[in-house]
Structure 1
């Protein structure tokens, strides 16, 4: 059975809501790990220095096995944990959520706070572009420079129809294309490359790794 990995988000998003005169500004930001998340939190705190609270939820790690939340002065369990539950329900990782609140003078109560922070987090993530992750096999293909343009077109079309992603091409003595391909599609790649090049192109198969699957 193929393991499913949590997704992440492609880029940072910001979203604001106002509830009973209190202003909530949510930031959902992709991060590389806890240290990167702490950097993001510090930057948001500095930028929104006049907010009363900066509540946090983060999930990190390839399997989403590291998590932390903070109510930052709100009643215990009314902010960070509900935000964390939003990340868990959506099966996201390597994401930090920071919701800054400017108090509007009207107390919301515990239930109102839970709804406000959950809604703020959810609506921010609704605006994010999701990036699927999968365990794919690294593949490289060496090509003469004169054939690089044609092969690039072939590979871009190929990954659109298979569980694969095209990486960065490097240029040295030869042009080297990098792909990440599902194990089940490796034979198809070999056959299709052979057919497109009269047997001249042979992919070199490397290790399996978990990658962000971004289609061209």
Structure 2
């Protein structure tokens, strides 16, 4: 299955550190669009922190997931990190949690919480965005209909990429793929069928998610 057209991911690459019972947990989050990119990120971060006690990781790349405990007790590191990414609905993200052991054992439950919280807090510190796929749509309108069309586009919060004033008014808009058909139907009704659409390239825009309520996105 292909990557969803709209999905949540981290705002940018970044790191965040937690100190838990004298152990350092350094979480590095990287945007990765392919498994090869994920593997490269893991290798680079592991090399950077090659003196660490553990470099554990998890990733979600399209529909592919993978997790590694890297020497921690089975199921206490990679899987909790993966579940943290999945609970936040994050896609195309690789998480590497580097641990420098501080001398105090955390126990199974403590490790699971530490690795899970490390990923969650890192994502919240870095920021989360919703990537939305949009398509460019070109159409012409008569001058006497332009104000009405512009009012409609403004009310619907549709991004106007360009307006060219010629024999008619040529308008270029970018529309979310999920609502493109509805927008085209509404414009067709508004102009009594006197409109022709030309579809252009697709692009992604990124909208910051300001609340930590990722399940509703």
Q: Same fold (TM over 0.5)?
A: yes
Local SS of the residue matching 1:11: coil
Counterparts of 2:93 and 2:66, CA distance in 1: 11
Contact 2:84–2:120 (CA<8 Å) still a contact in 1?
yes
- Equivalence for 1:179: 174
Partner of 2:47: 46
- Distance in 1 of aligned mates of 2:155 and 2:127: 18
List 4+ stretches of structure 1 deviating above 3 A: 3-6, 140-143, 158-162, 164-167, 175-178, 187-192
State the Cα deviation string for residues 145-202 of structure 1 (Å, max 9, x = none): xxxxxxxxx7xxx58943x6678x8xxxxx995724323223456789x8xxxx9x96
- Check the 8 A contact 1:165/1:214 in 2, yes or no: no
Aligned length, in residue pairs: 184
**Aligned CA-pair RMSD:** 3.6
In structure 2, stretches of 5+ residues that fail to align are: 141-149, 163-169, 209-217
Q: Check conservation: 2:9, 2:93, Cα contact below 8 A.
A: yes
Of 204, 207, 210, 2:198 maps to 204
Name which of structure 1's ranges 43-52 and 86-95 shifts more when overlaid on structure 2.
43-52
- The 5-angstrom pairing of residues 47-66 of structure 1 reads 47-61=48-62, 65-66=63-64
Aligned to 2:206: 214
> Structure 1 residues 97, 142: closer, same or farther in 2, change over 3 A?
same
Residue aligning to 2:146: none
Report the counterpart of residue 150 of structure 1 in structure 2. Answer: none
Do 1:37 and 1:58's aligned partners in 2 also have CA atoms closer than 8 Å? yes
Secondary structure of residue in 1 paired with 2:75: coil
Gaps of 5+ in 1: 144-153, 170-174
TM-score (norm 1): 0.70
Checking the alignment, whether the CA contact within 8 Å between 2:10 and 2:126 is kept in structure 1 is yes
Q: Tell me what 2:118 maps to.
A: 120
Residue in 2 aligned with 1:109? 107
CA distance in 2, matches of 1:10, 1:215: 9
Query: Match for residue 99 of structure 1?
Result: 97
Q: What's the secondary structure of 2:126's corresponding residue?
A: coil
Structure 1 residue matching 2:184: 3-state secondary structure:
helix
